[in-house]
A and B are shown apart, each in its own frame.
Chain A
Amino acid sequence: MNTKVFSDDEQIRRVWDMEEVKDLMARRAYMYMQDMRRQEIEMLWVQKPENRETAVFGSNWGFYLGLDNISAWYVGEHGNLRQKQLDEISKNDPAVENKPENLGFGSAIAAPLSTALVEIAGDGKTAQGLWYSIGQRTDPNGDGTASAYWVCGKIGADFMKEDGQWKIWRVVEAPDIIVTPGDAVANQSVFWEEGANLMENLFGTPTVSVTAHDPTFNWSDDFPHAPKAYYTYDPKNGCCPEGVLNDWRPY
């Protein structure tokens, strides 16, 4: 990659590719904030059948493989959760109508992006990026109260060009810190009791269950990877099961 020489024209197009990749992920963040998950999948993710098949959504606990599986969890199960939350709220407070416009009632969610690190493949067909997100997730408990959490972690993504447009191909959200506002990060559980980790619960039952990123003891592994300059995509450095690093754990 370092030996490849690009023309001026190629170089400026690669600069624009970087801008477009960053814009794409930022668009995803705004859709995520407003529960526009179906639109996100349809508008921002790969759509060609061969790319849909190899799409990935990962987190600390494993991976959903293929866009259909991703959608079933990311859109379908999330929609079911929002409906269940609204059912409970409406039952306890009939003034809150149980109608689609009220899905998301009592909730707030954000995964803003900073610290962008983007590499465009030398062959120009793929790109890889890593961001840090200091976000939050707030869900209603159904009785007029809610539970809020800071959710901080790396968000990695692999991108692919379809018909000249960058699309999201693979994403890994890897939370490091999940802590209630007002509590010290130092008070976060080192070992979560079974069923106590909000983000693990929300991740459901992935296609592949594997420890992909493990923030225990705040030991930070390089997954999702901080991308390095590359010529052609190698899944060993990707946001996918093949990219998981297994040789670093101290225990």
Chain B
Amino acid sequence: MNKANLSAEELVGRWEERREIKNLMGRYAVSFLLKKEASMFADFWAAREDVCMGLNDGWYVGREAIANWFAAIDRATALKAELLKADLPDKLEGQDLKDLYGIGDFDVKPLGTPVIELADDLKTAKGIWYSQGSKADVTESGPVSYWTFGVFAVDFVREDEQWKIWHLQYLENIKTLCGQSWAEPEKPFPELEAFAVLKDLKLPEPTEKVTLMEYYSPKKPMARFPLPPVPYDTFVNTFSYGYEKEV
């Protein structure tokens, strides 16, 4: 599409669409920070069946798989609050577990370096963001903090006049304990009895288990991230950030 041929009104309209997409992803990132996993799938994802989410270890394909992933995080967050309450009785005794939901966890995924393309037909859009984040988590070693570097690559679709997430990849190539170097082997903290139950806490396995991204190691090839979107007219004429079954 040659923008020189678009009217001022059309250009304003397309600029507004970009703003909405940026805000959608901004809200998505802030929702991790605010521990809103219980509602994130309903709030941001498309209602269609062919949604998918790619993480380092594979693809969550379909609504049920993604909803289960968010629900597992929700349950884990509740469990961590329970464990911290038991571990810090002098500070947290008497507090309602509902009020403590989310303590100990601080999942910051700030978004930068955006590249966004709207389809000429305005039915879909694509975007990529770099996220240099940090995650304070509660683990079998108690509370620990990581640096997390990764990329969000997302296809959006319009549903009921709103942009929604259709396909999303979030791939991290660096997750390293704060105070340590990602170039060196991780020096884990000792396990703590009070948090031992978290050792067995696992998120649901991906529907399609395939390595989409490996964490950085001096003994591995350079990470290959998804590439930025390119201008396109309609979705079938561009590449997808979604799961494509190998045939």
Using a CB–CB cutoff of 8 Å, the interface residues on chain A facing chain B are 8-9, 12-13, 15-16, 19, 22-23, 26-27, 29-30, 33-35, 93, 101-108, 110, 112-114, 134, 136, 138, 140-141, 144-148, 164, 180-182
User: Given known contacts A9-B8, A30-B128, A113-B112, is B176 in contact with A181 (CB within 8 Å)?
Assistant: yes
> What is the CA–CA distance of A131 and B95 in the complex, to the nearest angstrom?
45
Contacting residue for A144 out of B130, B218, B227, CB 8 A: B218
Distance, CA A23 to CA B149, complexed state (A): 20
- For A15, give its contact among B2, B15, B173, B225 (CB under 8 Å): B15
Q: Is B237 an interface residue (CB 8 A)?
A: no
A114 touches B222 (CB 8 A): no
- Closest chain-B Cβ to A10's Cβ sits at a distance in Å of 9
Interface of A is mostly: mixed
**Chain B residue with the shortest CB-CB distance to A110:** B149
| A108 proximity list for chain B (CB < 8 A) | 173-174, 182, 216, 222-223
Partner of A12 from B15, B184, B223, B224 at Cβ < 8 Å: B15
Q: Which of B35-43, B46-54, B113-121, B203-211 contacts A (4 or more CB under 8 A)?
A: B113-121
Point out the residues of chain B lying under 8 angstroms from A138, CB to CB.
182-183, 216
**Complex partner residue of B180 from A13, A113, A147, A181, CB under 8 angstroms:** A181
Partner of B15, one of A19, A103, A147: A19
* A-B contact sample (18 more), CB < 8 A, given A30-B115, A104-B221: A12-B15, A16-B11, A19-B15, A30-B130, A30-B225, A102-B221, A105-B220, A106-B222, A108-B182, A108-B222, A113-B112, A136-B149, A138-B183, A145-B184, A145-B218, A146-B183, A164-B2, A164-B4
**Are B221's CB and A110's CB within 8 A?**
no
B225 touches A33 (CB 8 A): yes
A180 to chain B: closest residue by CB: B181
Expressed in whole angstroms, the minimum distance between the Cβ of B8 and any Cβ of chain A is: 4
Chain B: CB-nearest residue to A112 = B130
Q: What are 13 A-B interface contacts by the 8 Å CB criterion? A: A12-B8, A30-B227, A33-B130, A33-B225, A34-B223, A34-B225, A105-B222, A106-B217, A106-B218, A107-B222, A110-B130, A112-B132, A182-B181
Bound form: Cα–Cα A114–B132 in Å? 11
Q: Closest approach, in angstroms, between the C-beta of B146 and any C-beta of chain A?
A: 12
Question: In whole angstroms, how far apart are the Cα atoms of A110 and B182 in the complex?
Answer: 13
B143 located at the interface, meaning its Cβ lies under 8 Å from any Cβ of chain A in the complex: no
B26 at the A interface (CB under 8 A): no
Question: Residue-by-residue, is B102-134 near A (CB-CB < 8 Å gives 1, otherwise 0)?
Answer: 000000001011111000000000001010100
B-chain residues with CB within 8 Å of residue A13 when the two chains form the complex: 3, 8, 11
Within 8 A of A (CB), among B173-228: 173-174, 176, 179-184, 216-225, 227-228
- Decide if B18 is an interface residue (CB 8 Å cutoff): yes
B12 lies within 8 A of chain A by Cβ? yes
A30 to B8, CA, bound (A): 31
Closest residue of chain A to B219, judged by CB? Answer: A144
CB distance from B15 to the nearest CB of A (A): 6
Residues of A within 8 A of B2 (CB): 164
Q: 4 closest Cβ contacts across the A-B interface?
A: A104-B222, A146-B218, A148-B183, A146-B183
Q: How far is the CB of B109 from chain A (nearest CB, A)?
A: 13
Residues 1-24 of chain B: 1 if any A CB is under 8 Å from the residue's CB, otherwise 0? 011100010011001001000000
Contact status A35-B3, CB under 8 Å: no
Task: Tell me whether B115 and A27 are in contact (CB under 8 A).
Answer: yes
| A112 surroundings in chain B (CB, below 8 A) | 112-113, 130, 132
* CB atoms of B222 and A35 under 8 A apart: yes
Most chain A beta carbons < 10 A, residue from B18, B112, B149, B184:
B112
Cα–Cα, bound, A165→B4 (Å): 11
Which of B147, B217, B221 counts the most A-chain CB atoms under 10 A from its CB?
B221
* Complex CA distance for A182 and B180, rounded to whole angstroms: 5
Contact of B115 among A12, A23, A141 (CB under 8 A): A23
Distance between Cα atoms of A87 and B88 in the complex (Å): 54
> Inside 8 A of A114's CB, which chain B residues have their CB?
110, 112-113
Interface 0/1 of B220-247, CB less than 8 Å to A? 1111110110000000000000000000
Which residues of chain A come closer than 8 Å to B12, judged between CB atoms? 12
* Interfacial chain A residues near B184, Cβ < 8 Å: 145
- In the complex formed, the residue of A with least CB distance to B179 is A182
B219 near A106 with CB under 8 A, answer yes
B181 touching A148, Cβ below 8 Å: yes
